[in-house]
């Protein structure tokens, strides 16, 4: 059924009451001119517009408006005076006309109304007069025209009745003939059963609470989205007393690494730090700025002057970046007391006696004392210096007994270990010298004499590989003391006696390889070179006899080799790892030896163990010069080393018979010999825990045990 | 276009190449033992030999195929049935390629994005919310040293995160909203926007902090971030809601701390005011920035910061809920805007260093943190007429002789000292004693002082000598370690000595 048009429907029904009062309604029905501008509708809603047109229709004003609108169509542009087009008006300034009309005659402008005229015009309240500058005319705009302008400016049609989309499709005529001839079905007249059932079901559901209306649903959804409510629901069941760290217990992978906390601020971050934290006199901060510290400590005179910290946001941002971007790793932090790293040593006072105090200085040398040794009975001390003087001192008094001149710069000196032989072996530039000390009494004098007696050799030594002559023996002098010389091919560096006091070994590093180590037999005045080949470890530096077995220790630059003299074979090689061995000492027990080196090391070798050093110590600041054991090691388990740094280090070095117990090496005393040039040799007293030291500045000192 | 997008993403994330490099060099050092990733022999086998593509399977106990390349060759007898227990015992389980070893345990971010089909943005948000962080692999995976690696187990967790689905749903909803907007169907667009799925991070709080103890232990960063946002200007990405919510949460926190009398220390620093409270045996330290407009550098990416804030706000609120409930308070508390209301909540029977005193804060000294500190110390904040102490920060003209006048520092110093400090040195407008950090252990410096004094008359010679000689016997390694430890200690002592020397010099000058 076609919908009746709005106008038709409007005729039959009473329009809804207008919002304004009935009196104003009556007034407005006369003419729209009577309505004031203020009362005129400012917005043109559809309802209001319909209502407005209804009123106008009833009052006949609509027809009037339509007529007027028709009038409006006749534009007054036709009789517009000025036809010059878009020509700037100022071109006509200075002329009495302002352009030309269609017929080509001049358009002379009217004079615009002045203020007084305008005031008079405004007084009648029937519109306004404006000056049309283009045509040079005063134009009267009525109240109705003003209204139209206002409507147009708002984007509405000038005529309120105009419809934008006239419904041309609606027919005002109801067709009498139907389109089909079928009778109306029954269902048009009775209520639908299925719809009824459905409605019943819906009503039942709503009543039961099974169903909810759309509004109800919307409200519930909104409630469910309420963050406050969601928070409270979650918070009620968040943490309980039965919570455990890993509820599933199935977490795989590495442990979680918690981020470290930020460092807490120190005094320098205070707004009013102590004065010493601020800059010093030169303007430099006194404390080193911490990692990431971006401010200079400054004393603010009041809190309100501190101001904002510029880096605050940046620092927090960087912390955030660290928290989620920075790779984390568990690292073991060393939480140990540094003092626990220092080994606990027995108290040196429990290990007494050992030489610990200067007892006496032996004054007489002017050049460096290169070697010293004490006689086996402990009464005498022999010292040798660079210039070739060998001095004999009485130990108990410090008195210089005798001075003997031996040719050459000397390098080593050893007292014969046999008690009856009062003989010194001195290594010099030309060879080795045996010097009678003339300290023998009674039968010893004969024994000493017998040792030094013999026939002189003839001939000279040549440095040849096939040379058969190793040493040339001769008696240098008989009075005042006997000196026997064994000339060698190269300067002797070290000298070592065999325990019986007949054999003597010397080392001449500068000789050819086979002649570097020479063994002499004093009673027969014979010399032989037991090593026919050189050593891979470089020049031989030192050699020593084993105290009880027929072994010879030969130290090259890097290794110590142990030869069996009777079987003439290599027994063992000791590799200490030193770069340049300087000295070698054998423990009187014969099972241990120490090796001192120019690269500051002291290596303790246990001959029963492997070829590596049992213990390596590094404590001197300069090269080691000599190492020595106390001859009575069972009573005084002492060892000493001296070094170019001018100190002598005394150890309590106890060796156990038990094979499973390691020797205990305990440093007990650092003796300062007060020699800047260094200490060149040291030797223990044979019967007392005393130590002699000879220095490069010519001083000889005796340290005794307090 | 892809290049542009990639660059843009990188720049936005604040993860420029240099920054990433720098970040890689940082190593966190917590005090727990380091773990090594267990390796089976098969990994070694895989890395050493060239596994051909056909060799899809490897054997953990490859006795049968040992020494033979080109695939597992079974030398089992024909009588041994396949899959029997005997066979399993002999050959072990079949291990698939790429299921163990450093390269499967650690993966780069690019790999993860590809596997999880995530954008960088979503991945970043997930990482922040879930607290997933890269780990330093025990050895370098094949991808190289210049990468950041995540552990596979962490990523496994990410992959099963319900938030992933919520992110995707939200994205799909937003596509629909955009479509509606494009069709100028504003009503539908609005309703779709309002109906878009919402997510919250409540389950993540429980997941990251399974126990309340763990939650209390990690509050520092959360509170610092919230306190910073409470002072930030609401501009750009920071909305007024963020600011007001942060302010609210910080206030609730301060109220709880004041109520439970757990504030231990305070420190006015140039960065802001540090507070330290002891909550159920956990020490919580937070920094309240000075209440001025913060400088916001352009480099700061607020998307990162806001994601953190999102989690931290939820987390702190849950902690507060629990704390308030445990002390019998209602949560959220009634809004206490004015100082007096705040004070009522705290209670007046509190025994503290300032208990019994009533303070009045002058206008220039009325900081919100000062209220909090004073109330926590037991003082009451009242009007000027009825107060005992006036806290001011400028020279006072009208001095009431019946009242004490102090600077704000006096409140914090009294709190740290545990008793009310004398007021005379803290006259407003004048100089006050230096403000010292309570976080520096007092005995640190005293110790070093006493040590230095002990050093001045050198320790008994024999003992020193004995120690020197004991050091001779140290191994090279121990000697080196000992030397390094001593070096650090000496440096610290030298800094203390320098400071003390300077202090004495200044004191001597001031005497002159």
Nearest CA in chain A to B469: A667
CA distance B341 to chain A (A): 23
**Mean pLDDT, chain B, whole residue set:** 79
Are residues A613 and A603 in contact, defined by beta-carbon separation less than 8 angstroms? yes
Sign of CA dihedral B326, B330, B332, B335: negative
β-partners of residue A423 are A436
Q: What percent of chain B has pLDDT over 70?
A: 76
CA distance B317 to chain A (A): 9
Q: Which of chain A's residues have a Cβ under 8 Å away from the Cβ of B464?
A: none
On the question of pLDDT at B332 being above 80, the answer is yes
Give me the total of CB pairs closer than 8 Å, taking one residue from chain A and one from chain B.
Answer: 317
Judged by CB atoms closer than 8 Å, whether chains meet at A307 and B292 is answered as yes
ipTM over 0.85: no
Judged by CB atoms closer than 8 Å, whether chains meet at A325 and B23 is answered as yes
Give dist(CA A306, CA A312) in Å, integer: 14
On the question of pLDDT at B379 being above 70, the answer is yes
Residues B344, B235 share a domain:
no
CA distance A325 to chain B (A): 6
Give dist(CA A630, CA A691) in Å, integer: 9
Q: Which of chain B's residues have a Cβ under 8 Å away from the Cβ of A332?
A: 33-34
Are residues A651 and A667 in contact, defined by beta-carbon separation less than 8 angstroms? yes
Average pLDDT on B343-352 reads 65
* Sheet of A647-654, strands arranged across: A624-629, A638-643, A647-654, A664-672
Q: Which of chain A's residues have a Cβ under 8 Å away from the Cβ of B364?
A: 304
Residues B395, B369 share a domain:
yes
Nearest CA in chain B to A251: B153
Give dist(CA B341, CA B330) in Å, integer: 15
Nearest CA in chain B to A269: B269
pLDDT confidence of residue B449? 44
Locate B459 and state its tokens. Answer: 């320790």
Nearest CA in chain B to A615: B473
Judged by CB atoms closer than 8 Å, whether chains meet at A667 and B472 is answered as yes
Q: How confident is the model at residue B356 (pLDDT cuts 50, 70, 90)?
A: confident
Chain A contact probe: residue of B28, B307, B498 with most A CBs at under 10 A: B28
3-state helix, strand, coil in chain B (%, to 5): 50, 10, 40
Look at residue B20 and tell me if it is in a domain: no
Judged by CB atoms closer than 8 Å, whether chains meet at B503 and A276 is answered as yes
Look at residue B3 and tell me if it is in a domain: no
Q: Which of chain A's residues have a Cβ under 8 Å away from the Cβ of B124?
A: 324
Distances (CA, A) of A144 to A147, A427, B315: 5, 145, 69
Residues B190, B212 share a domain:
no
**Total residues found in chain B within this entry:** 512
Higher pLDDT, A58 or B140: B140
On the question of pLDDT at A487 being above 70, the answer is yes
pLDDT confidence of residue A39? 52
Residues B210, B192 share a domain:
no
Average pLDDT on B188-215 reads 92
Are residues B250 and B239 in contact, defined by beta-carbon separation less than 8 angstroms? no
Locate A38 and state its tokens. Answer: 């203020």
Closest CB to B32 among A243, A315, A330: A330
Range of the domain at B497: 450-511
Residues B371, B317 share a domain:
no
Range of the domain at A674: 349-704
Q: What percent of chain A has pLDDT over 90?
A: 41
* CATH number assigned to the domain comprising residue A490: 2.130.10.10
β-partners of residue A394 are A380
- Name the residue among A421, A420, A492, A431 with its Cα closest to residue A452: A421
Look at residue B72 and tell me if it is in a domain: no
Look at residue A75 and tell me if it is in a domain: no
pLDDT confidence of residue A460? 65
Locate A675 and state its tokens. Answer: 């020699």
Residue A547 burial (10 A CB sphere; 0-12, 13-18, 19+)? middle
Residues B319, B210 share a domain:
yes
Average pLDDT on A32-37 reads 45
Comparing A94-108, A423-437, B147-161, B315-329, the range with the smallest average pLDDT is A94-108
CA distance A698 to chain B (A): 27
Beta strand pairing call for B389-391 and B358-361 = parallel
Higher pLDDT, B29 or A376: A376
pLDDT confidence of residue B342? 59
pLDDT tens track for A37-57: 445 444 455 556 667 667 767
Judged by CB atoms closer than 8 Å, whether chains meet at A271 and B486 is answered as no
Look at residue A636 and tell me if it is in a domain: yes
Sign of CA dihedral B235, B241, B246, B247: positive
Residue by residue, DSSP assigns A605-663 as EETTS-SB-SEEEE--SS-EEEEEE-S-TTT--EEEEEETTSEEEEEEEE--SSTTSPP
Q: Which of chain A's residues have a Cβ under 8 Å away from the Cβ of B474?
A: 341-343
pLDDT tens track for B6-16: 333 333 343 44
Q: How confident is the model at residue A679 (pLDDT cuts 50, 70, 90)?
A: very high
Judged by CB atoms closer than 8 Å, whether chains meet at A270 and B436 is answered as yes
pLDDT confidence of residue A416? 92
pLDDT tens track for B228-244: 999 999 988 999 999 99
Across A230-379, where does the E strand assignment appear? 357-362, 369-374
Q: How confident is the model at residue B504 (pLDDT cuts 50, 70, 90)?
A: confident
pLDDT confidence of residue A1? 39
pLDDT tens track for A58-108: 777 666 666 655 555 444 555 557 888 888 888 888 888 888 888 888 888
Look at residue B4 and tell me if it is in a domain: no
Nearest CA in chain B to A227: B200
Look at residue A80 and tell me if it is in a domain: no
Closest CB to B472 among A323, A335, A619: A619
pLDDT confidence of residue B83? 61
Higher pLDDT, A119 or A284: A119
Comparing B32-41, B201-210, B448-457, the range with the smallest average pLDDT is B32-41
Judged by CB atoms closer than 8 Å, whether chains meet at B200 and A327 is answered as no
Residues B299, B215 share a domain:
yes
Q: What percent of chain A has pLDDT over 70?
A: 84
pLDDT confidence of residue A88? 84
CA distance A687 to chain B (A): 26
Q: Which of chain B's residues have a Cβ under 8 Å away from the Cβ of A217?
A: none
DSSP state of A257: -
Average pLDDT on A109-132 reads 79
Last residue of a domain, one of B326, B355, B371: B326
On the question of pLDDT at B49 being above 50, the answer is no
Q: Which of chain A's residues have a Cβ under 8 Å away from the Cβ of B34?
A: 329-332
Judged by CB atoms closer than 8 Å, whether chains meet at B270 and A335 is answered as no
pLDDT tens track for A147-193: 899 999 998 888 888 877 776 666 677 777 777 888 889 988 999 99
**Total residues found in chain A within this entry:** 706
Q: Which of chain B's residues have a Cβ under 8 Å away from the Cβ of A243?
A: 210-212
Closest CB to A273 among B295, B299, B434: B434
Domain count, chain B: 5
Look at residue A240 and tell me if it is in a domain: no
Q: How confident is the model at residue A451 (pLDDT cuts 50, 70, 90)?
A: confident
Look at residue A671 and tell me if it is in a domain: yes
Domain count, chain A: 1
Q: Which of chain B's residues have a Cβ under 8 Å away from the Cβ of A251?
A: 153
pLDDT confidence of residue A674? 75
On the question of pLDDT at A229 being above 50, the answer is yes
Residues B263, B296 share a domain:
yes
Q: Which of chain B's residues have a Cβ under 8 Å away from the Cβ of A272?
A: 268, 409, 432, 434-435
Phi-psi region of A253 (alpha: psi -120 to 50; beta: other; left: phi over 0): left
On the question of pLDDT at A537 being above 70, the answer is no
Judged by CB atoms closer than 8 Å, whether chains meet at B215 and A326 is answered as no
pLDDT tens track for B225-282: 999 999 999 988 999 999 999 999 999 999 899 888 899 999 999 999 999 999 999 9
DSSP state of A331: B
Are residues A491 and A505 in contact, defined by beta-carbon separation less than 8 angstroms? no
pLDDT tens track for B457-491: 455 677 888 888 888 889 889 999 999 999 988 98
Give dist(CA B474, CA B485) in Å, integer: 14
Look at residue B98 and tell me if it is in a domain: yes
- Name the residue among A646, A661, A668 with its Cα closest to residue A591: A661
Q: Is the peptide bond before B157 cis (omega within 30 degrees of 0)?
A: no
Q: How confident is the model at residue A685 (pLDDT cuts 50, 70, 90)?
A: very high
3-state secondary structure (DSSP) of residue A535? coil
């Amino acid at each position: 059924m076609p919908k009746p048009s709005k106008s038709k429907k409007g005729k039959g029904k009473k329009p809804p009451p207008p919002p304004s009062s009935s009196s104003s309604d009556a007034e407005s029905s006369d003419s729209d001119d009577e309505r004031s501008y203020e009362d005129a509708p400012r917005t043109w809603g559809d309802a209001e517009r319909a209502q407005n047109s209804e009123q106008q229709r009833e009052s006949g004003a609509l027809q009037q408006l339509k007529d007027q609108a028709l009038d409006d169509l006749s534009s007054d542009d036709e009789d517009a005076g000025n036809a010059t087009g878009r020509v700037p008006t100022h071109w006509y300034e200075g002329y009495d006309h302002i352009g030309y009309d269609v017929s080509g005659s001049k358009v002379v402008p009217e004079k615009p109304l002045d203020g007084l005229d305008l005031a008079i015009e405004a007084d009648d309240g029937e519109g306004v007069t404006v000056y049309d500058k283009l045509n040079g005319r005063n134009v009267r705009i009525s109240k109705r025209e003003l209204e139209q302008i206002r409507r147009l400016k708002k984007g509405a049609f000038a005529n309120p009745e105009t419809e934008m989309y006239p419904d041309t499709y609606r027919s005002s005529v109801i067709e009498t003939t139907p389109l089909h001839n079928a009778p109306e079905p029954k269902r048009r007249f009775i209520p639908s059963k299925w719809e009824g059932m459905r409605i019943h079901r819906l009503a039942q559901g709503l009543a039961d609470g099974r169903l909810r209306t759309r509004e109800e649903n919307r409200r519930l959804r909104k409630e469910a989205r309420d963050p406050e409510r969601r928070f409270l629901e979650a918070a009620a069941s968040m943490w309980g007393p039965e919570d455990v760290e890993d509820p599933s217990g199935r977490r795989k992978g590495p442990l979680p690494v918690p981020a470290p906390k930020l460092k807490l601020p120190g005094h320098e971050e205070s707004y009013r730090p102590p004065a010493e934290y601020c800059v010093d006199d030169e303007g430099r901060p006194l404390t080193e700025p911490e990692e990431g510290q971006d401010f200079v400590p400054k004393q603010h005179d009041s809190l309100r002057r501190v101001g904002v910290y510029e880096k605050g946001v940046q620092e927090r941002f960087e912390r955030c970046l660290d928290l989620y971007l920075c790779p984390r790793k568990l690292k073991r932090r060393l939480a140990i007391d540094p003092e626990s790293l220092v080994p606990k040593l027995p108290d040196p006072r429990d290990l007494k006696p050992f030489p610990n105090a200067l007892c006496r200085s032996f004054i007489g040398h002017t050049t460096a004392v290169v070697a010293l040794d004490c006689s086996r009975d402990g009464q005498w001390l022999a010292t040798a210096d660079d210039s070739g003087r060998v001095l004999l001192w009485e130990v108990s008094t410090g008195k210089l007994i005798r001075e003997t001149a031996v040719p050459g710069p000397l390098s080593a000196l050893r007292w014969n270990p046999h008690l009856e032989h009062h003989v010194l072996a001195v290594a010099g530039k030309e060879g080795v010298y045996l010097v009678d000390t003339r300290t023998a009494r009674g039968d010893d004098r004969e024994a000493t004499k017998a040792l030094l007696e013999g026939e002189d050799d003839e001939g000279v030594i040549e440095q040849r590989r096939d040379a058969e002559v190793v040493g040339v023996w001769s008696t240098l002098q008989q009075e005042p003391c006997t000196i026997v010389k064994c000339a060698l091919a190269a300067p002797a560096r070290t000298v070592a006696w065999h325990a019986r006091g007949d054999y003597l070994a010397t080392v001449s590093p500068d000789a050819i390889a086979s002649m570097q180590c020479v063994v002499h037999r004093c009673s027969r005045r014979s010399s032989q070179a037991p090593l026919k080949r050189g050593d891979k470890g470089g020049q031989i530096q030192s050699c020593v006899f084993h105290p009880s077995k027929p072994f010879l220790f030969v130290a090259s630059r890097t290794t110590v080799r142990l030869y069996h003299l009777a079987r003439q074979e290599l027994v063992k090689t000791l590799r200490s790892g030193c770069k340049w061995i300087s000295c070698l000492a054998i423990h009187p027990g014969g099972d241990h030896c120490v090796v001192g080196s120019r690269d500051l090391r002291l290596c303790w070798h246990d001959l029963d163990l492997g070829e590596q050093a049992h213990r390596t110590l590094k404590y001197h600041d300069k090269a080691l010069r000599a190492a020595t054991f106390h001859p009575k090691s069972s009573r005084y388990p002492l060892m000493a080393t001296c070094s170019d740094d001018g100190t002598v280090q005394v150890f309590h070095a106890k060796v156990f018979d038990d094979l499973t117990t390691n020797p205990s090496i305990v440093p007990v005393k650092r003796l300062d010999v007060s020699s800047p040039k260094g200490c060149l040799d040291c030797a223990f007293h044979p019967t007392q825990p005393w130590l002699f030291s000879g220095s490069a500045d010519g001083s000889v000192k005796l340290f005794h045990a307090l | 276009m892809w290049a542009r997008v990639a660059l843009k993403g990188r720049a936005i994330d604040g993860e420029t190449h240099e920054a990433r490099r720098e970040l890689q060099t940082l190593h966190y050092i917590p005090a727990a033992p380091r773990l090594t990733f267990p390796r089976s022999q098969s990994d070694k086998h895989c890395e050493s030999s060239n596994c051909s593509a056909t060799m899809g399977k490897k054997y953990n106990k490859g006795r049968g195929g040992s020494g033979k390349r080109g695939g597992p060759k079974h030398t089992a007898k024909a009588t041994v049935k396949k899959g029997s227990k005997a066979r399993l015992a002999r050959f072990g389980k079949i291990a698939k390629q790429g299921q163990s070893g450093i390269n499967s345990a650690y993966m780069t971010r690019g790999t993860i994005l590809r596997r999880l089909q995530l954008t960088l943005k979503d991945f970043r948000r997930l990482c922040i919310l879930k607290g997933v962080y890269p780990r330093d692999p025990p050895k370098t995976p094949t991808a190289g040293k210049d990468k950041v690696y995540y552990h596979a187990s962490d990523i496994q967790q990410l992959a099963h995160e319900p938030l992933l689905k919520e992110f995707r749903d939200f994205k799909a909803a937003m596509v629909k909203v955009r479509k509606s907007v494009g069709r100028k169907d504003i009503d539908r667009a609005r309703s779709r926007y309002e109906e878009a799925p919402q997510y919250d991070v409540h389950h993540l709080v429980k997941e990251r902090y399974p126990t309340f103890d763990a939650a209390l232990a990690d509050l520092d960063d959360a509170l610092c971030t919230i306190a910073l946002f409470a002072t930030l200007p609401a501009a750009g990405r920071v909305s007024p809601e963020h600011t007001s919510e942060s302010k609210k949460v910080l206030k609730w926190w301060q109220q709880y701390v004041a109520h439970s009398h757990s504030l231990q220390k305070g420190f006015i620093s140039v960065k802001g005011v540090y507070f330290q409270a002891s909550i159920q045996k956990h020490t919580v330290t937070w920094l309240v920035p000075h209440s001025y407009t913060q400088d916001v550098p352009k480099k700061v990416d607020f998307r990162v910061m806001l994601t953190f804030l999102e989690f931290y706000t939820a987390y702190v609120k849950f902690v507060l809920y629990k704390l308030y409930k445990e002390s019998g308070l209602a949560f959220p508390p009634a809004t206490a805007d004015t100082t007096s209301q705040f004070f009522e909540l705290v209670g007046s029977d509190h025994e503290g260093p300032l208990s019994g005193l009533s303070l009045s804060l002058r206008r220039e000294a009325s900081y919100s943190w000062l209220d909090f500190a004073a109330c926590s110390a037991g003082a009451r904040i009242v009007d000027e007429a009825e107060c005992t102490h006036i806290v001011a920060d400028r020279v006072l003209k009208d001095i009431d002789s019946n009242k004490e006048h102090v600077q704000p520092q006096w409140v914090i110093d009294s709190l740290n000292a545990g008793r009310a400090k004398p007021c005379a040195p803290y006259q407003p407008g004048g100089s006050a004693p230096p403000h010292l950090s309570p976080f520096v252990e007092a005995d640190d410096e005293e110790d070093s002082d006493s040590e230095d004094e002990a050093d001045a008359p050198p320790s008994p010679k024999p003992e020193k000598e004995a120690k020197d000689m004991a050091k001779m016997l140290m191994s090279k390694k121990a000697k080196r370690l000992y030397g390094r430890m001593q070096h650090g200690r000496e440096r610290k002592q030298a800094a203390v000595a320098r400071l003390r020397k300077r202090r004495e010099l200044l004191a001597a000058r001031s005497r002159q």
